Structure 1
C-alpha cells in the first residue's frame, strides 16, 4: 500500500507544487507513543510525506495545544493533523480532536467525518477500522451476507468498525461489557473483530471453526523477569488452531493503522481546496 501512496504522491506533487504534510502532536514522554510516532515518521518518509512533528511537555495546557491546532489548521503545507493518544489526564482529548479542521482530520474522528461514514459518503475514515477493512479486502474475505461480531464499542474502533462492516453488507452485532451470553454470540461470527483492551480475552471456545479473527487489541503485559511484551485481545496460540485467518499482535493491524493514516493524509492532499469538503 505504501508503494501505491508513493506513486500517487509523485503524480500529484508536480501539480500541487509541494509534498503532502502530516503534523503529529505528542504530549509527554509515553514510551509507546514515542515509538508509534517514530514509526509514523519513518513511514511518511518512505511515501514522500513531510512530517511536522511537535513534542510538548507533559504539563502543557489545553489552551496552548488548542492554539497549535488552530495554527496548523491554517498552515497550507499541512494536510493532516494527528493528536497522539493517550494524552496526560489533565487534558481533554475529545475537545482537542474537535478543534481539528475536518478536512485535516487524519485520524477520521471528527464528528463531521464520522457523520459522513454513517451516511456512506466519501471522507476521512477512522484509521484502525479502515485498516481492518483494507486487510480483509486484500485477503479476499467475503463480507456480504456474513455474520460479523465486533467486540468493543469505542468511537475509535468499535462503532466505526461496525458501520464499515455494515456498509460492506455484513450482518453486524456489537458486543460490549454488558452483553449477555457473549461466548454464544461470538461463536456465531464468521468475522470476529476484538477491540476490548483485555489481554487474551477471546479464547478458542468463543470462536467458530473457520472464522476470520481480527485482533485490534494492543496490551502490554509483564513477562518473565519483569520484561514487558505486547499481546492482543485474542489468545492467539489456541484460537489460531480454529480460525481460517487470524491477525497477530504485534505486526497485524498496527501497520495497517499507520498505512491508513498516510492514506488519509494523501487523500486530503489530493482534495486541495475543493469547495465540497468543509474546512
Structure 2
C-alpha cells in the first residue's frame, strides 16, 4: 500500500495508508513484547460527555484492540473534581500492569489541564506532554514524543527519505506546545534549519516562501495560500477546521488552501486523510515503546 499518490498536482501524501503501515508494525512489536511476558496496556480517561472527545476515545480504544494492546477505559462524570481525577491518575501510575496513561482533553473547566498532564508518570505519558519528556525532546534524547509531530516526521520521510531532510529549511507555522514546539525540535534533530512563525511574526508569508518544508499548525482555515509556498516545497497540513458550505452543511478543511497550493507543491497532505490518522497510530506506537522502556527492553 503506497502512502503517496501521484497526481497532476504532484504527490498527495496518504496519511491513511501510512498509518495502516505503522499499525501493522505496531502489531508485530506488540507480539514481540508479549513473548517477553509483557502485555502493553493503555488506560484512557474521559471526563464528561463531550461528543467529539467520546469519538476520539472510541477510536483510540478500537485501534488498541486491533493491534493487540490491552485498553482500559475510565469514563468519569463532568462533576468529577480535580482531586478525584488526580487520584485516579496516581493509582494508574502505581499500577505496574499499565504502561500508558492518556487523559482525553479538554477536561471540564474546573480542572487544570496542566496539573493533570504533570501528574502522569513521564514513563507512562504516551501523549508526550509531560515537562520531563518535553525537556528530553529539546535535548535530543530518546523519549516519548507527541504523536502528531511524530506522525508528521514519518510522513516527511515517506516523501524525502530517511536522511533526506538534512540541510533543508523547514518552516513551522504555529508555536503550540502540542504541535509547533515539538515539531520544531524534531526537525532540528533531523538536521533541518528551522523557522517558527506565529501571530506576532512579521512578513510571515515571505518567510514561509523560503521553506523547503512547511508544517501548518495554526487552526485557521486555509490561511496559507499559494503565495506562502515555494514551488516544490513539501507541505504538511496539521489543521482540522470545520467550516460551513453554501449548501448549509459543514466540511473539514486544513490550514492550507489545498486547491491553490497542491499544483505548486512537491507533495502535500490532504484534510481529512493526511496527518489525522497518524496521530492515533503514533499513540499506539508510544504505548508499545513505553511498555518496552518500563520492562527494561
Q: TM-score, normalised by structure 1?
A: 0.94
Confirm whether residue 255 of structure 1 aligns to residue 255 of structure 2: no
Q: Distance in 2 between matches of 1:161 and 1:123?
A: 14
Give CA-to-partner distance per residue, 1:161-216, whole Å, 9 cap, x none.
Answer: 00100110000000000000011001101100000011111111111111100001
Structure 1 runs not aligned, ≥5 long: none
Most deviating of 238-247 and 85-94: 85-94
For 1:50-199, what aligned pairs fall within 5 Å after superposition?
50-141=70-161, 142-199=164-221
The alignment status of 1:231 with 2:253, answered yes or no, reads yes
- Could you tell me which residue of structure 2 aligns to residue 271 of structure 1? 293
Structure 1 pair 223–64 and aligned structure 2 pair: CA distance change class (3 A) = farther
> How far, CA to CA, are the matches of 2:194 and 2:275 in structure 1?
20
Distance, in Å, in 2 between the alignment partners of 1:61 and 1:232 is 35
Partner of 1:4: 25
CA drift of 1:35 comes to: 1.5
Cα displacement (A) at 1:58: 2.1
C-alpha displacement of 1:136: 1.1
TM-fit CA distance, 1:224 = 4.1
- Stretch of structure 1 that moved more, 170-179 or 236-245: 236-245
Alignment partners' CA distance in 1, 2:210 and 2:249: 37
Separation (CA, whole Å) in 1 of partners of 2:124 and 2:182: 18
Report what 2:14 is aligned to.
none
The unaligned stretches of length 5 or more in structure 2 are 1-21
Matched positions, count = 274
Deviates more, 1:166-175 or 1:27-36: 27-36
Change (3 A) 1:225 1:61: farther
1:43 offset after TM fit, Å?
1.0
For the residue of structure 2 that corresponds to 1:15, the secondary structure is coil
Superposition deviation, residue 225 in structure 1: 4.7
Distance, in Å, in 1 between the alignment partners of 2:30 and 2:101 is 18
The 2-side partners of 1:57 and 1:253 are apart by 31
* CA RMSD after TM alignment: 1.5
Structure 1 runs of 4+ off > 6 angstroms?
none
TM-score (norm: length of structure 2): 0.89
Q: Is the 8 A contact 2:41 2:97 kept in 1?
A: yes
| Pick aligned residue for 1:216 from 238, 249, 273 | 238
